[in-house]
Structure 1
Amino acid sequence: MNILHIDSSASDAATSHTRRLSAELVDKLKAANPGASVVYRDVAVDRLPHVDLTIREAWLPDGEKDDALTATATRSKALVDELKAADVVVIGSPMYNFTVPSTLKSWIDHVSIAGQTFQYTATGPKGLLSGKAYLALSSGGIYSQGPFAAVEHLATYLTSILRFLGIGEVEVVRAEGVAYGPDQDKAAMASAQERIGTLVAA
């Protein structure tokens, strides 16, 4: 099993809910699959540049490329190759203003490449990837249900883009309401950890 592990929280490992949860997911996956390999990317620390239209030129097969286009092509190809090689993708992401951190969005923009991870067909787009994904998510409030569910663009967005790319099985682990006080924080993490145990043991 090849595991691609991505963290995106601006907080460190001691304080980040998603870093702790994604690490636990990877540890349990490794324990359940001896010999599994892990590629780790911390997009909050090793930040990717926001993409612009030059990424299209960088992926063109023909024509000369200057140093900037060559660097863009090399970086994007490495990210795409990592994703293609993964049997399982584990993404740790907190909710920032109802959605993903911009650093994680940059990674998504670098790997969502027509002709590489998806393609357009006569009947619409088709994902070119396969495998499974686990999302380790956290939020200060509760957005999976209740009055604020309409502004939940974290799990919904990540699930949608991964399925668009062909990863049909996406499991979500949430620690919600962590800003509601120590008791709720502890309960949210316990619930998320229980779900991890259930998911990996299944």
Structure 2
Amino acid sequence: MTQTILHIDASARIQGSTSRDLTAQIIERLNADQVIRRDLTSPLPQLTEDWINANFTPANDRDAVQRDLLALSDQLVEEVKAADTLVIGVPIYNFAVPASLKAWIDLLARVGLTFHYTETGPEGLLKGKRAIIAVASGGTQVGSDIDFATGYLRHILGFLGITDVQFVAADAIMADAEAALKRARTAIEALAA
């Protein structure tokens, strides 16, 4: 069975990034047939009123300008749809996800494409996928009261239909880097390909 991974790195740091190092280790461990790469150091646009209006215009009624406004978002959605597994590198910045990752999520969460509303509430349309999130933080312990990143990511991915979410954490690195990295490596070794 072939496996496609969508590899997303959200760290602003290219060199010396713990989350980037962890995602590289995870990708190697999973040994996928195909890896789609999305590096969020290339900035994604923020949502605008024109983008929102284009998004809520029925697809058949969109003009060329609206289709162009949604083209990148369409591409991001297709990348996720093509993947069996998402591997996302997330540094915790100021207790939450980087703005670049939030921009990616905003462009991905589209009613009718990645979720829809039913009589019983919203339903995610990206089911059957796995997400492995490599988290790195200097002082924030994953799962603590000041971790506003991992709970948000689990929730938003679940909202989109991705409920198989695993975290590999190198957290509170400033307290004990060696122990934090050892825990993360152990978690990576335990990942099933």
TM-score for both structures, normalised by structure 1: 0.88
Q: Which amino acid aligns with 2:189?
A: G
RMSD: 1.5
| Count of aligned pairs | 188
> How do 1:41-80 and structure 2 match up within 5 A?
41-44=38-41, 46-59=42-55, 60=57, 61-67=59-65, 69-80=66-77
Deviation at 1:141, TM superposition (A): 1.2
User: In the alignment, what sits opposite 1:28?
Assistant: 29
Identity of aligned residues (%): 39
> How far apart, CA to CA, are the structure 1 residues paired with 2:180 and 2:93?
18
2:113 aligned with 1:113: no
User: In the alignment, what sits opposite 2:132?
Assistant: 134
Q: Which amino acid aligns with 1:8?
A: A
> How far apart, CA to CA, are the structure 1 residues paired with 2:140 and 2:90?
15
> How far apart, CA to CA, are the structure 1 residues paired with 2:184 and 2:83?
24
> How far apart, CA to CA, are the structure 1 residues paired with 2:146 and 2:50?
32
Of the three residues 7, 10, 17, the one matched with 1:8 is: 10
2:149 aligned with 1:154: yes
Q: Which amino acid aligns with 1:137?
A: V
Secondary structure (helix, strand or coil) at the match of 2:6 reads strand
2:174 aligned with 1:172: no
> How far apart, CA to CA, are the structure 1 residues paired with 2:97 and 2:47?
16
Q: Which amino acid aligns with 1:47?
A: P
Runs of 4+ in structure 1 deviating by more than 3 angstroms, as ranges, are none
User: In the alignment, what sits opposite 1:39?
Assistant: 36
Secondary structure (helix, strand or coil) at the match of 2:71 reads helix
Deviation at 1:176, TM superposition (A): 1.1
User: In the alignment, what sits opposite 2:178?
Assistant: 186
Deviation at 1:56, TM superposition (A): 3.1
Deviation at 1:179, TM superposition (A): 1.8
> How far apart, CA to CA, are the structure 2 residues paired with 1:15 and 1:106?
23
Secondary structure (helix, strand or coil) at the match of 1:199 reads coil
The 8 Å contact of residues 9 and 88 in structure 2, kept in 1 or not, is answered as: yes
Residues 175 and 77 from structure 1, CA distance in 2 versus in 1: closer, same or farther, beyond 3 angstroms?
A: same
> How far apart, CA to CA, are the structure 2 residues paired with 1:53 and 1:85?
29
Give CA deviations for 1:117-145 in whole Å, capped at 9, x if unaligned: 00011110000012100000011114235
Deviation at 1:151, TM superposition (A): 1.9
Give CA deviations for 1:30-87 in whole Å, capped at 9, x if unaligned: 1xx5xx111000012x1101112323333331335253x3322111101111111111
> How far apart, CA to CA, are the structure 2 residues paired with 1:115 and 1:189?
40
2:188 aligned with 1:199: no
> How far apart, CA to CA, are the structure 1 residues paired with 2:62 and 2:148?
40
